[in-house]
Amino acid sequence: MKRTIIPVKRKTAQSYTIVIGDDCLKKLIVDIKTKKWANRYAIITDSKVKKLYGEKVQKILKKAGIETVLISFIQGEKHKNFKTVQTILDSLFKEEFHRDDGIIALGGGVVGDIAGFVASLYMRGIPYIQIPTTLLAMVDSSVGGKTGVDTKWGKNLIGSFYNPKAVYIKPSYLQTLPKKQLRNGFSEIIKYGIIARPSLLTFLQKNKESLFAAKTKATSKLIAPCVRIKRTMVQVDERENGMRKLLNYGHTIGHAIEKQSHYTVQHGQAISIGMSIINTIAVSKKWMSKKNAETIKKLFKTYGLPTKLPTSFSNVALVNSIKMDKKIKHNKKTFVVATKLGKARLSTSITNQDITKACRKHA
Ligand code: GLY
């Protein structure tokens, strides 16, 4: 496949590029050597990606004369916490990492968020590079500099905005990704389609087989447009004061679902339920047509994504969890509502009663 390079321009700091292509590790080596971001790198990954790609990437970099150490932690959202961060920081000290050393985040969203957070903390900040290996991380979390951990207070409520030096996306990594994980990514892609680019939805409707087979030709057609949408949003609004909030469509309720399920409901599933609940509210207020809500529901079904809450869920607990979400300002909950396919806006007029009523319909 042809290599795509997407620049992310930043107003107050250094810009960076997102490289998409199966030969992107070649570009990584050239960039490491010419840009001299760091003397050596800690490849931070999880137990699963370590076996699949961690050792391979380390070997490729060694062959190119780039010194690395490999640090891994147990796979899963449950490990996206302070304990993991502390353990990695300890490893960096034991390896005698200095300010002029760097980090390579190799993995999915959890790895990227943890490694980026560690990079922002270690010696008050060292450079890092993102190499996402899941669809969700490729189209969303590796771009835009959000890093952090989950705590008892909620998902991603503690963290930093800390941008990578570059992002390298190798679509063929998706060929080893379990279907469940692919679905997480499809959920985010459906989100992009609804809030910004309906042609993505048409592509998803027509190419289910090749997308679930992670055929590079098909996945690449989705990755680059999604990255471009996200790039535009973070360029305009890096700190999420305006336009970037639209990326949270379905996420305010979704994060509360993840937390309430103790992270047994995956992110992609939680946000498909979140988007569906918000759509029910939007239809009831005549902000969205029933037809559009039905089209979205059908697409979630096609991609095996739920629209109903888990049976054990308490609506009261869910509404309380939503209150802790970071999108809440001056006691006013801001929700993203889609008004038609390709168009979304913010709303502060959705009440707890609206949510409870809609949740009942999704129970
Ligand atoms: N995942 C939403 C954002 O990066 O803003």
Q: How confident is the model at residue 325 (pLDDT cuts 50, 70, 90)?
A: low
Q: What is the mean pLDDT of residues 160-170?
A: 97
Q: CA of 303: how far to CAs of 67, 85, 171, 208, in Å? A: 41, 34, 19, 8
pLDDT of 10 reads 81
361 carries an active-site annotation = no
pLDDT of 329 reads 59
Express each pLDDT in 228-241 by its tens digit. 999 999 999 999 99
Q: What is the mean pLDDT of residues 69-84?
A: 97
pTM above 0.85, yes or no: yes
349 by Cβ neighbours in 10 Å (0-12 / 13-18 / 19+) ranks as exposed
Express each pLDDT in 258-302 by its tens digit. 999 999 999 999 999 999 999 999 999 999 999 999 999 999 999
CB neighbour list of residue 298: distance below 8 Å, 6 or more residues apart: none
Helix (H, G, I), strand (E, B) or coil at 348: coil
pLDDT of 265 reads 95
pLDDT of 352 reads 87
Comparing 320 with 26, the larger pLDDT belongs to: 26
248 carries an active-site annotation = yes
Out of 248, 259, 292, 333, the active site residue is 248
Helix (H, G, I), strand (E, B) or coil at 171: helix
Picking from 8-12, 128-132, 353-357, which range would have the lowest pLDDT averaged per residue? Answer: 8-12
Helix (H, G, I), strand (E, B) or coil at 190: helix
Helical ranges in the chain per DSSP H? 24-35, 47-49, 55-63, 82-94, 109-121, 135-136, 179-195, 198-206, 208-212, 216-236, 251-260, 267-284, 290-302, 315-323, 352-361
Nearest in space to 324 (alpha carbons), one of 315, 316, 333: 333
CB 149 within 8 A of CB 141: no
Beta-strand (E) ranges in 126-212?
128-132, 146-151, 154-161, 166-169
Percentages of the chain per state (helix, strand, coil), in multiples of 5: 55, 20, 30
Q: What is the mean pLDDT of residues 180-200?
A: 98
pLDDT of 173 reads 97
How far does the centroid of ligand 1 lie from the alpha carbon of residue 93, in Å?
Answer: 30
Please report how many Cα atoms fall inside a 13 Å half-sphere around the Cα of residue 281, on the Cβ side: 25
Judge if the beta carbon of residue 139 lies within 6 A of ligand 1: no
Specify the residue with its C-alpha closest to ligand 1, atom 2.
247
Which ligand 1 atom is the nearest neighbour of the CA of 144? 4
Q: CA of 112: how far to CAs of 135, 160, 258, 323, in Å? A: 13, 12, 18, 26
pLDDT of 328 reads 60
362 carries an active-site annotation = no
pLDDT at 176 over 80: yes
For residue 266, the one-letter residue type is Q
How far does the centroid of ligand 1 lie from the alpha carbon of residue 313, in Å?
Answer: 26
Judge if the beta carbon of residue 116 lies within 6 A of ligand 1: no
Helix (H, G, I), strand (E, B) or coil at 101: coil
Out of 80, 245, 251, 333, the active site residue is 251
315 carries an active-site annotation = no
Q: CA of 299: how far to CAs of 27, 50, 196, 223, 344, in Å? A: 36, 33, 16, 18, 18
Q: How confident is the model at residue 331 (pLDDT cuts 50, 70, 90)?
A: low
Judge if the beta carbon of residue 146 lies within 6 A of ligand 1: yes
Encoding tokens for residue 99?
A: 């300010």
330 carries an active-site annotation = no
Helix (H, G, I), strand (E, B) or coil at 95: coil
12 by Cβ neighbours in 10 Å (0-12 / 13-18 / 19+) ranks as exposed
pLDDT of 13 reads 75
Which structural domains are found in the chain, ordered by start? 4-176 (3.40.50.1970), 249-361 (1.20.1090.10)
pLDDT of 169 reads 98
Q: What is the mean pLDDT of residues 2-24?
A: 89
How far does the centroid of ligand 1 lie from the alpha carbon of residue 111, in Å?
Answer: 15
Q: CA of 155: how far to CAs of 63, 171, 257, in Å? A: 39, 27, 10
As a whole-number percent, the residues of the chain with pLDDT over 90 amount to 88
Encoding tokens for residue 217?
A: 């030709």
Residue with tokens 């006691």: 331
Q: How confident is the model at residue 326 (pLDDT cuts 50, 70, 90)?
A: low
